[in-house]
Structure 1
Amino acid sequence: MKQGPTQKSELKKACINCGAELTYAPGTSHLKCDYCGHEEDINPDESLLIELELKSYLDQMGAQSHSEEISLLHCKNCGANQHVEENYKSLHCVYCGTPLIIEDLYKEDWILPGAVLPFQLTQQESHRLFEKWVKKLWFAPNKLKRAALDPTHTKGLYAPYWTFDAQLFANYTGQRGDYYYVSVPYTTTVNGKTVTRTRQERRTRWTPAAGSIQGFVDDTLIKASHQKKGLIPLKIARWNLNKLEPFDTSFLAGFITEKYTIPLKDGHLEAKDEARVIADRWAKRDIGGDTQRVHSLDMTLSDETFKHILLPVYISAYQYKGKRYNFFVNGQSGAISGDRPYSFWKIFFLVLAVIALIVLILYLQGQ
């Protein structure tokens, strides 16, 4: 394990009254002591909310100006790299529940986050959403519904994402489609007689189109980590990035922080694909008409910048009959999504009941 000095992202802040560790209180702007209730304000430095120049990082220049070491535990089962705070006594991977071995702790450089979206929901509020979700499940096993789901299995995670900004310029060629309608005769039979009528059919008149579009592409959001299990579903992966705060380690206190495993250059390639989708949409809007075709798109991105940001999600990994299931809550909006088991016997007896009902109806109809 690589040794090194304690880095600022790993410093713990102690309560001035009782010495216990202060943790971030979701939905607030302060740290709180869970033992005596003492609170301290978080005052993030607004000057730290900056975009970093992309080119210098991709060229391996200037990368050390906003980077430092962080201690990590690697999950050998799903591949997630997690920075686990000391107040977590039970060290298990937040994604798949695999035990993490503290002796495997190692240090690695990371690009410091430029911003963080603080949790707005507490762990208790998240767990209540989980319980309500379980109670509403159709065909869920009774054992699962009766289970005293331990709130400590619901962990708060700051998931890493890249955001990219750029000035976009593109030349395009394509076609503009305008709808028009023609009367088309057809024959039909009315009262035994063949009659001719007309109906309106839509046609499209295509004309060549060419031009250029430009604009600012703001905060293209790209996931910065990859796991083999427990992927954060797209259903909950929507955050209001206007609420981002300048990065301050106080917001991380009491939560798990995941290190990115998708390199900046790979995230940038995905962001370029997203920019091309945006350019195609802008070109179609510029062409106008009722429908459009884009044949060629020569796109250029300039003044590219990026941020490494951390976004909040609660994850509950629970096990039923030897299989692990995941449940996710967006730590800002409360949006929920999860995997669930089904009761074979509940479905089996329902099918039997439906068959019996059909047999009974057929029997009564035959009387």
Structure 2
Amino acid sequence: MEEEEKKAISEQKRSCVNCGAELKYKPGTTNINCEYCGHQETITQDEDGFKELELKPYLSAMGSQSHSEEIMMLHCKNCGANQHVEENYKSLHCVYCTMPLIIEDAYKEDWILPGAVLPFQFDQKKSHQIFSKWVKGLWFAPNKLKKAALDPQNTKGLYLPYWTFDAQLYADYTGERGTYYYVSVPYTTTVNGKTVTRTRQERRTRWSPTSGNITGFVDDTLIKASHQRNNAIPKKLSHWNLDALEPFNTSYLAGFVTEKYTILLQDGHLSSTKEAERIARSWARQDIGGDTQRVHSIDMRLSQETFKHILLPVYISAYRFNSKKYNFFINGQTGKISGSRPYSFWKIFFLVVFILSIILILLWLSNK
């Protein structure tokens, strides 16, 4: 009975009271709607808000099994992506590499329940418009790429898994405070054939030893929770307004693919600790003051550590050209787009030929 209840949390689907079709999340709203008859329902918000989970129990073997559930997964044998497949999802192809996924290979796997989700802010139609406009503006793009951009089925909505970590930080540090001062330095130069001596101001730094301690709250350190091999999300797309996070509700996932984390919690925690050390050094430099600083040692301690498993939205369009795969990504919150792209050899070749022809014609006319 307990297993059935756990499955019901993430696998439940809502049917339309009018026509029976499945209700899907409508991007940019707090509604799920029927694509067939237009019926809408409001997503029930969790009054308790986000679920910040205490970290230490989850880093133990026993604790990692609490607040978790089973979901149905498909593993892409080509690129390694793990994708949560909904029964009604029409295209059983990997969102990253477009290779076919076999529904018979689906398996159940435990995951830590997401604590929050950042809902898509616009629909697939809008994302396709952004993608098409970007593709049409690419210089020397193959004609096949522009034709592929006309098919909305090439653009998929995907929720990416991330870890966020919160902690109270305390650190002792030793270092040096640098204060700038200037000295007059003589030098010689030649003026009107004569050697003259002049002076210039040069900056020096006076160092003095210092030590102290810093304390503060490190909030929502964002750590990617999945490996994408050759399909990594570009860093310039990974800027999110986490203030718009909503308490997790499976209704937001309806109609989209959800990727399961492959970077385990303990590995994500190690990355967040390194980020906390970077933050501690930055705070230490601010505390040292002066014109410049040196941090020689820092002894950092973290307490009251909590974490969330969150899902962030991105649209992906995959395309193959000359046996090579290209991915294009759109941030599902901001609409920012980025990706790799192929170049048309023949378009570049004919442009070079055209430029050389113009040069030759101009040379011929100048010699007449």
TM-score scaled by length of structure 1 = 0.95
Q: 1:111 deviation in Å?
A: 0.4
1:81 aligns with 2:82: yes
Tell me the secondary structure at the aligned position of residue 98 of structure 2: coil
Q: 1:364 deviation in Å?
A: 6.9
Q: In structure 2, what is the Cα distance between the partners aligned to 1:249 and 1:11?
A: 8
1:105 aligns with 2:123: no
Q: In structure 2, what is the Cα distance between the partners aligned to 1:262 and 1:145?
A: 35
**Matched ranges for 1:63-212 at <5 A:** 63-147=64-148, 149-212=150-213
Q: 1:22 deviation in Å?
A: 0.2
For the 8 Å contact 2:135–2:149, the answer to whether it is kept is: no
For the 8 Å contact 1:7–1:68, the answer to whether it is kept is: no
Q: In structure 2, what is the Cα distance between the partners aligned to 1:250 and 1:74?
A: 23
1:291 aligns with 2:289: no
Tell me the secondary structure at the aligned position of residue 282 of structure 1: helix
Q: In structure 1, what is the Cα distance between the partners aligned to 2:295 and 2:363?
A: 59
For the 8 Å contact 2:148–2:319, the answer to whether it is kept is: no
- Equivalent residue for 1:258? 259
For the 8 Å contact 1:187–1:196, the answer to whether it is kept is: yes
Identity of aligned residues (%): 71
Q: 1:113 deviation in Å?
A: 0.3
Q: In structure 1, what is the Cα distance between the partners aligned to 2:177 and 2:361?
A: 61
- Equivalent residue for 1:36? 37
Does 256-265 or 2-11 show the bigger shift?
2-11
Tell me the secondary structure at the aligned position of residue 219 of structure 2: strand
Q: 1:32 deviation in Å?
A: 0.4
- Specify every segment of 5 or more residues in structure 1 that has no aligned partner in the other structure, as ranges: none
Letter in 2 for 1:235: K
Q: In structure 1, what is the Cα distance between the partners aligned to 2:34 and 2:7?
A: 23
Letter in 2 for 1:63: S
Q: In structure 2, what is the Cα distance between the partners aligned to 1:79 and 1:182?
A: 61
Change (3 A) 1:200 1:350: farther
Q: 1:187 deviation in Å?
A: 1.1
- Equivalent residue for 2:302? 301
Q: CA offsets per residue over residues 222-267 of structure 1, 9 Å max, x none?
A: 0001122311111111111011111111111111111100000000
Q: In structure 1, what is the Cα distance between the partners aligned to 2:141 and 2:288?
A: 52
Q: 1:321 deviation in Å?
A: 2.5
Tell me the secondary structure at the aligned position of residue 202 of structure 1: strand
Q: In structure 2, what is the Cα distance between the partners aligned to 1:213 and 1:223?
A: 27
Tell me the secondary structure at the aligned position of residue 156 of structure 1: strand
Letter in 1 for 2:160: A
Tell me the secondary structure at the aligned position of residue 238 of structure 2: coil
Number of residue pairs the alignment of both structures matches: 366
Change (3 A) 1:38 1:230: same
- Specify every segment of 5 or more residues in structure 2 that has no aligned partner in the other structure, as ranges: none
For the 8 Å contact 1:32–1:39, the answer to whether it is kept is: yes
Q: CA offsets per residue over residues 179-218 of structure 1, 9 Å max, x none?
A: 1111111111111111111111111111111111110000
Tell me the secondary structure at the aligned position of residue 236 of structure 2: coil
- Equivalent residue for 2:331? 330
Change (3 A) 1:42 1:3: closer
Q: In structure 2, what is the Cα distance between the partners aligned to 1:214 and 1:232?
A: 33
Q: CA offsets per residue over residues 132-166 of structure 1, 9 Å max, x none?
A: 00011011123323445311111111100000000
Tell me the secondary structure at the aligned position of residue 265 of structure 1: helix
- Equivalent residue for 1:11? 12
Does 231-240 or 273-282 show the bigger shift?
231-240
For the 8 Å contact 2:148–2:154, the answer to whether it is kept is: no
Q: 1:5 deviation in Å?
A: 8.0
Change (3 A) 1:105 1:156: same
